[in-house]
């Protein structure tokens, strides 16, 4: 297969590209299985050091239009970023202009294409960091609103989702006010961090009078080697454990309907097909964790570190049988996974869809690594979902190694039905609130 023996990865990436063309229609998830690069050989000097690394996934595109927003049950790509904003609009018409412009920008960024060419004496329309043609690169931008958007400014108070409030401080939290809350939350996800940054800069440039960045956190997910035919594995967090093993199946529409999407009737009508979003910046004390015996790490989580299997199981998908272990001899009663999901019929109501990233931000004043989990979760009922789960977790032994420092509660808006619709159209529609 290799036609040019000195640059094996170039040839193989071409092969992959033609293979992927066929997969394009099947969607990004299938293509992802093939994304492993061939091993670069030490003697490969065919290209200069500054040659751009190649990706055969830049054309991957997620649909912007739909009943629900993308970026929630969409398979999670390798990089994510959350950015909270203060809304600077002071009137309803300006708020509508904000949502219409956001819709227009996100639709373009997720579709990709060439930005308009302006008179070169003017600043360019686009930052250009993805080149003259913007590639979609699997980008999703998911828009959520915070409780503060429903204050007196826009008269939206009667439309506030029932459970949407400013995130409370839990006992183990040390929340930094500069990393919390916001009127608006944008979640960017794509194959590369640069694509997320490009999208953010586009939005910041196009909405200077309406949006002000409040805080931001980037994250990533470690990639693993593709294993054709094998069962999917959950990615690992910065504590080295698989995260998401017990997640409800995001490909199962009926489950998502129950766990993730808000239905009419329980909430203001406009909120149907939206979802409560929880964002938490959870610092991990990784040096200390790395100095903790493996057995203790596993007991704290309730899973084997290497396989992700629960005690007594073989794979991460195995379901622990807590009923047969009432005293916690196999899995401690205060193990993280046992508290988070006790696997009883009653606690089925507390399921949430987690979609987290790992983050790393430089170092602390004492020279320790500032890194951890950018926790993101979606649920149809915030009270029954995250808040109930977190209350069960309060006081867990894992707390010695983690410290939530920021985040907020938000409500992900319903989807945009088509080019004539816009994000938040139902929220802003005049008429009787329910």
Residues that bind another protein (CB under 8 A): 86, 88, 117-123, 205, 208-210, 212
Tokens read off for 415: 């989807």
**Shortest Å, Cβ 351 to another protein:** 38
**Shortest Å, Cβ 86 to another protein:** 6
**Shortest Å, Cβ 174 to another protein:** 22
Q: Toward another protein, which CB reaches closer, 123 or 418? A: 123
> Taking the CA of residue 398 as centre, how many other CA atoms within 13 Å lie in the half-sphere pointing to its CB?
28
Q: Toward another protein, which CB reaches closer, 124 or 222? A: 124
**Shortest Å, Cβ 214 to another protein:** 9
**Shortest Å, Cβ 154 to another protein:** 15
**Shortest Å, Cβ 89 to another protein:** 8
Tokens read off for 243: 């995260």
Residue length of the chain: 434
Read off φ and ψ for residue 105, nearest 5 degrees. -65, -45
Q: Toward another protein, which CB reaches closer, 4 or 121? A: 121
Q: Toward another protein, which CB reaches closer, 132 or 264? A: 132
Q: Is-contact 372 284, C-beta < 8 A? A: yes
Rounded distance between C-alpha atoms, residue 299 and residue 332, angstroms: 7
Q: Toward another protein, which CB reaches closer, 118 or 253? A: 118
**Shortest Å, Cβ 120 to another protein:** 7
Q: Toward another protein, which CB reaches closer, 10 or 153? A: 153
- Torsion over CA: 336, 338, 341, 346 (sign): negative
Instruction: Spell out the residues 6+ positions from residue 38 whose beta carbon is closer than 8 angstroms to its own.
Output: 8, 9, 12, 13
**Shortest Å, Cβ 72 to another protein:** 29
Q: Toward another protein, which CB reaches closer, 8 or 182? A: 182
Q: Toward another protein, which CB reaches closer, 198 or 303? A: 198
Start-to-end CA distance of the chain, whole Å, equals 64
CA 291 to chain centre: 29
Q: Toward another protein, which CB reaches closer, 124 or 264? A: 124
> Taking the CA of residue 405 as centre, how many other CA atoms within 13 Å lie in the half-sphere pointing to its CB?
20
Nearest to 328 by CA among 315, 312, 316: 312
Q: Hey, which residues does 143 pair with through a beta bridge?
A: 186
**Shortest Å, Cβ 212 to another protein:** 5
Nearest to 72 by CA among 353, 352, 272, 269: 353
- Torsion over CA: 90, 93, 96, 97 (sign): negative
Q: Toward another protein, which CB reaches closer, 209 or 296? A: 209
Q: Is-contact 240 305, C-beta < 8 A? A: yes
**Shortest Å, Cβ 404 to another protein:** 24
Instruction: Spell out the residues 6+ positions from residue 218 whose beta carbon is closer than 8 angstroms to its own.
Output: 79, 80, 81, 193, 196, 357, 359, 374
What is 212-253 written as a DSSP string? EEEEEEEEE-------TTSPP-PPB-TTSSB--TT---TT-H
Q: Toward another protein, which CB reaches closer, 210 or 337? A: 210
**Shortest Å, Cβ 274 to another protein:** 26
Rounded distance between C-alpha atoms, residue 79 and residue 195, angstroms: 9
At 151, is the secondary structure helix, strand, or coil?
Answer: coil
């Amino acid at each position: 297969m290799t036609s040019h023996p000195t640059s094996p990865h170039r040839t193989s990436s071409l092969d992959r590209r033609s293979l992927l063309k066929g997969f394009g229609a099947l969607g990004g998830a299938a293509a992802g299985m093939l994304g492993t690069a061939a091993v670069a050989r030490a003697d490969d000097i065919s290209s200069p050091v500054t040659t751009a690394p190649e990706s055969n996934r830049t054309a991957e595109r997620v649909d912007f239009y739909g009943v629900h927003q993308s970026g929630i049950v969409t398979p999670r790509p390798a990089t994510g970023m959350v950015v909270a904003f203060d809304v600077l609009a002071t009137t309803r018409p300006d708020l509508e202009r904000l949502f219409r412009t956001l819709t227009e920008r996100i639709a373009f960024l997720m579709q990709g294409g060439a930005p308009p060419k302006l008179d070169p004496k003017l600043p360019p329309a686009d930052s250009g960091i993805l080149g003259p043609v913007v590639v979609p690169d699997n980008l999703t931008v998911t828009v959520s609103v915070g409780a503060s958007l429903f204050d007196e400014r826009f008269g939206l108070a009667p439309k506030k989702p029932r459970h949407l409030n400013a995130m409370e401080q839990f006992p183990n939290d040390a929340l930094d006010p500069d990393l919390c809350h916001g009127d608006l939350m944008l979640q960017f996800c794509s194959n590369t961090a640069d694509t997320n940054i490009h999208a953010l800069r586009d939005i910041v440039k196009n909405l200077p009078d309406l949006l002000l960045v409040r805080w931001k956190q980037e994250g990533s997910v470690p990639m693993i080697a593709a294993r054709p035919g094998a069962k999917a594995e959950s990615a690992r967090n910065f504590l080295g454990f698989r995260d998401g093993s017990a997640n409800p199946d995001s490909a199962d529409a009926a489950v998502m309907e129950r766990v993730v999407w808000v239905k009419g009737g329980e909430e203001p009508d406009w909120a149907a097909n939206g979802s409560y979003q929880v964002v938490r910046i959870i610092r991990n004390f990784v040096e200390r964790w790395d100095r903790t015996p493996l057995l203790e790490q596993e007991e704290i989580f309730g899973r084997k570190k290497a396989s992700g299997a629960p005690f007594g199981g073989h794979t991460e998908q195995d379901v622990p049988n807590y009923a047969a272990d009432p005293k916690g001899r196999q899995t401690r009663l205060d193990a993280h996974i046992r508290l988070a999901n006790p696997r009883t019929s009653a606690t089925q109501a507390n399921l949430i869809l987690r979609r987290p990233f790992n983050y790393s931000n430089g170092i602390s004043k004492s020279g320790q690594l500032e890194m951890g989990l950018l926790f993101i979760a979606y649920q149809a009922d915030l009270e029954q979902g995250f808040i109930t789960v977190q209350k069960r977790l309060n006081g867990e032994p894992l707390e010695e190694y983690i410290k939530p420092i920021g985040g907020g509660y938000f409500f992900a808006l319903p989807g945009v039905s088509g080019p004539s619709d816009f994000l938040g159209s139902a929220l802003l529609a005049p008429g009787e609130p329910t």
